[in-house]
Structure 1
């Protein structure tokens, strides 16, 4: 299945200065998850100080709120990726949001989404007191000429939500797609080049993966309006 019907619902993106050493410490100091549904990320590479998310539609592959869990792989083959998120409220000086539900869903290495009763590569985490949560997943595969991506939805409460997606750098994707199991298919020469959503995001929603053993980890601070 593809995301052909997905278009950006907002093209605004703003990089803001974090404003205090407390925010810098927030995005740098973390720990491994202690209990299911309350995962806190470990330190990793460069993290934007506070990003107002470029929103986009959920696409046809969203199947509702997933299972509460940190590891969403369910044995799917692929290069491991630990996704470490911090959710903040931009209008309140990048105040961390505790208790927000963060939902992710993505394609597997073959560019396929789980359907029906399948739940692989789908899951929810609840942010901790510092607004943090983490997911153990894999690098998503490509499909339909769209930029490879990881969808996410943040629900700070029962009345509101923000939906968007994370992208990955071209050079990183080309390297990963040369490995198995991704190399079973011929990867596009320019993984991100034909997707207007990627261009609309202007790099604001692109992760910066850092090597972590046999896989990678990527940290990102998501700012809600």
Structure 2
């Protein structure tokens, strides 16, 4: 776990050093295309929720053996106020629920991780499609922590047709899924149009790319 009394500068140095040994992929493993959105728009913000943990656990594969449909998330980070130029050396935290709708707590760290963006503002996470829980649309949380300036916290959603297909598969099918896992969630109705991913099939799972624009 991160040392909470470490200065911001030394902490970022630790993150960058860790990123050298836990990079977001080999040089030939390029993320899917993620062009800046039309109009160079800011990403819709949302609260980080009660399950965020400040771990600085730098790694691309965050599964830790959790069973589920494989999912790769390719992110490109841009600074909107700077003409949507890629933002390098920014930490991006990702966390979400497992197939049963549970988060890692009490010292567990599955489905949590941090990556540092490269010179092109890119990083990638290898995980699983999250399960549903409570009355919320299934989602992946993320938090952007740049060296300077304002970051952002938000979440990604998934198309309902894809979720229905995924939740019919093992191990998700152990629980009867809601008929409409997204529409029952007010947060989805507010930001779902802009924060819903567009996954494509890849091997036994899916892959999606998204450009995150911060102020």
Q: Under TM normalisation by the shorter chain, which class is it?
A: 0.7 to 0.9
How far did residue 161 of structure 1 move?
2.6
The answer to whether residue 130 in structure 2 is matched with residue 137 in structure 1 is no
Q: Distance in 2 between matches of 1:97 and 1:133?
A: 11
- Match for residue 195 of structure 1? 185
Further displaced range: 94-103 or 57-66: 57-66
How far did residue 47 of structure 1 move?
5.5
Q: Distance in 1 between matches of 2:158 and 2:35?
A: 14
How far did residue 68 of structure 1 move?
0.3
Q: TM-score, normalised by structure 2?
A: 0.84
- Match for residue 64 of structure 2? 74
- Alpha-carbon RMSD: 2.0
Further displaced range: 114-123 or 38-47: 38-47
Q: TM-score, normalised by structure 1?
A: 0.80
1:109-146 alpha-carbon deviations (Å, 9 max, x no partner): 00000002101000000000000000000000000010
- Match for residue 13 of structure 2? none
Unaligned runs of 5+ in 1: 1-32
Q: Distance in 2 between matches of 1:53 and 1:181?
A: 32
Q: Distance in 1 between matches of 2:142 and 2:182?
A: 18
- CA spacing shift, 1:125–1:59, aligned 2, 3 Å: same
Which residue, 30, 40, 45 being the options, matches 1:42? Answer: 30
1:63-99 alpha-carbon deviations (Å, 9 max, x no partner): 2134100000000000000000000011211110000
1:1-225 matches, cutoff 5 A? 35-39=21-25, 42-44=30-32, 49=37, 50-157=40-147, 160-225=150-215
- Match for residue 12 of structure 1? none
Aligned residues: 193
How far did residue 154 of structure 1 move?
0.2
Q: Distance in 2 between matches of 1:47 and 1:179?
A: 32
- CA spacing shift, 1:46–1:102, aligned 2, 3 Å: closer
Q: Distance in 2 between matches of 1:135 and 1:55?
A: 20
Q: Distance in 2 between matches of 1:204 and 1:67?
A: 28
Q: Distance in 2 between matches of 1:68 and 1:118?
A: 15
How far did residue 45 of structure 1 move?
6.5
